Amino acid sequence: MPAADSPAASGPRPGIADRLSRLVQLPTVSAELETRGNAPFEGLESLLRELYPLVHEHLAFEKITEFGLLYRWTGSGGPGAGSANEPVILMAHYDVVPVDETDAWTYPPFDGTVAGGHVWGRGTLDDKGELVLILDAVENLLAAGFTPARDVYLSFGGNEETFGDAARTIASTLKGRGIRPWLVLDEGGAVTDAPLPFIPLVTAVVGVAEKGALTVRLDARGEPGHASAPPRETATTRLALAVRRINRHGFRPHFPRAARTMFRVFRENTTGRPRAIVSALLAVPPLTARLFARLAGDAGAMVRTTVAVTMLDGGTAANVLPSQASATLNIRIAVGETVAGSVARIRHLIRGLDITVTVLEGDDPSPESSTENAQFALIRDAVGVAYPEAVTAPYVQMSATDGRHFHRFSPATYRFAPLMMTGVQRASIHGVDEHVSIDSLERGERFYAALLRSLPA
C-alpha cells in the first residue's frame, strides 16, 4: 500500500464521473429480473472489482443472499478490538427502478452520458451515485495508507427498490454476531438550496427517522350483469366511495420532534421575513401541523400519514358489470403511529361499505435518532468539510430505505446522501432525466473521507 506521502496519496483519483457512468450502463433493475436476468447484477459486481482494486484487496468481502454485498474494513485496533462490535455501517443500494420507454429522456437512461458537468442516467442519484462516493472515498484512503479508528462495514443491497431481503439479511446477520453498530448511514436526505419554499438556506437535511411503509388492498364484490341496467351500487361505485372517504378524511396531522428541531435550525440561521415565518410556525405546532397537512408534496407528508392509491383493478369488459374491484393503497406511516393503528383507521373510514381490507406488507416507522450525540456531530462536521456553505438539520425520511432494518437495534441510524440536489433533480428520482453534477460527486467523496478520518476510537 502506498505511504501517506506517495503520489497516490496526494488526493482523490480523477474520473469519478466515468466510474459512475460505467455503473449506470448496467441496467440493474430489480423489478425486471425475470426479463433482464441476473447478468447486469453479476456484471456490476465484477465491475466493482475492476474499479476498486484496493477495496477488494484489503477489505474482507462476504456475499449475503444473492444480492447483498458486505465489506469489512478492520479498524486500527485490530480484529480483537472492542470497537469491532461497535462499527460504522455505510450503506447504499445498486439496484434501480424501471424506466418507462415512452418517457422522453434528454440522454438514454442507461447510457451513463457525461455532459454539461453532469452524469445522466437511471441511478445517478438513487443510489449508484452514493455507492461510488463511498467506494471512491475508501479506495482513496487506502491509497493514502489510512486505517480507520474502528471497524467500518460497507453494506450494499441489490433489491432495495423491490423491498427485497438483502439488507434485512445483512442486518440480521450482523446482529446475530453480536454487532451493535455505533453509526449507520444510508441514503435519504441531501443538500438543497431551499429545504422549504420560504427558506432560502443551503441545508444538508439528515434523516433521523423514517416513516413506516404499509401496502393495503381494498376489495369490493358485486353481482355481475349487463351494464345496460345497473343497480344503484356496484363493486366499483362502493370502491370509489371508499377511496374518496380515505382521501377526504385521511389521518390526523401532528408536528414531529424532528420537524421542530429542523425549524429551530432554520430560525437560528435566517433573518428577516423567513425568520419571522419560522418563528410564527414554531409558536403554534398544532396549527402548523394542520396548515401543512393541507399542502401537497413534502410539506404535507412531513406532518401526517399519507395515502396514495397506486393501483386500480376491476371489470372484464366495457358492457359488463364487474363482480369485483380492487384498489391498492401505498401508506407512509408518520413517526409515532403504527401499522395496526393505520389499518384500524382505514377500516374506520370505510365502515359500512362492505369492503375487505387486506394487509399485503407493512413496517412500523423507525424511532428518532438523536441530534445531540457524537454521531450526528460527526455527520455535521463532515458536511462542513464538503459543503462549508451549508447548515445541517434533521428531518423525517418520507420514503423507505434499507437503513430501517438496522434502526431496530442501532439507535444511531441516519439517512443522508452528500449530494447537492435541486428541486428538478429531486423530481427526477424515479422520474425522467435523473442526473448528478460532477462537482457534487467530488464533494460527496470529500464528505465520506472526512467522516472516516474523524471516526473516534
Q: Compute the average pLDDT of residues 280-309.
A: 92
Residue 3's pLDDT band (cuts 50, 70, 90): very low
pLDDT digits (tens, 9 = 90+) for 162-173: 989 999 999 999
Which of the residue ranges 82-96, 154-168, 388-402, 423-437 would you say has the lowest mean pLDDT?
82-96
Q: Are 446 and 386 in contact (CB under 8 A)?
A: yes
| Topology of domain 212-363, CATH | Alpha-Beta Plaits (3.30.70)
Helix/strand/coil percentages in the chain, nearest 5? 40, 25, 35
Q: Are 322 and 235 in contact (CB under 8 A)?
A: yes
Burial (CB count within 10 angstroms: exposed 0-12, middle 13-18, buried 19+), residue 362: middle
The DSSP output letter for 327 is E
The DSSP output letter for 196 is B
Q: Compute the average pLDDT of residues 130-150.
A: 97
Closest by Cα among 56, 122, 60, 127 to 444: 127
Residue 85's pLDDT band (cuts 50, 70, 90): confident
Contacts of 128 (CB under 8 A, 6+ apart): 20, 23, 24, 92, 94, 96
Residue 151 C-alpha from the chain's centroid: 24
The DSSP output letter for 40 is H
Residue 78's pLDDT band (cuts 50, 70, 90): low
Q: Where are the domains of the chain?
A: 7-194+372-453, 212-363
**Does 212-363 match 7-194+372-453 at the fold level?**
no
- pLDDT above 80 for 11: no
Residue 200 C-alpha from the chain's centroid: 24
Q: Which CATH class is domain 7-194+372-453?
A: alpha beta
Q: What is the rounded distance in angstroms from the CA atom of residue 71 to the CA atom of residue 174?
A: 12
Give me the pLDDT at residue 298, please: 83
Give me the pLDDT at residue 84, please: 66
pLDDT digits (tens, 9 = 90+) for 195-248: 988 899 999 999 999 999 999 999 999 988 888 988 989 999 999 999 999 999
pLDDT digits (tens, 9 = 90+) for 28-76: 999 999 999 999 999 999 999 999 999 999 999 999 999 999 999 999 9
Q: What is the rounded distance in angstroms from the CA atom of residue 165 to the CA atom of residue 397?
A: 20
Give percent of the chain above pLDDT 90: 88
User: Would you give the end-to-end CA distance of the chain in angstroms?
Assistant: 22
Give me the pLDDT at residue 229, please: 84
Distances (CA, A) of 295 to 120, 222, 246, 300, 430: 31, 36, 16, 5, 22
Q: What is the mean pLDDT of the chain?
A: 94
- φ/ψ (deg, to 5) at 28: -80, 70
User: Does pTM top 0.75 for this prediction?
Assistant: yes
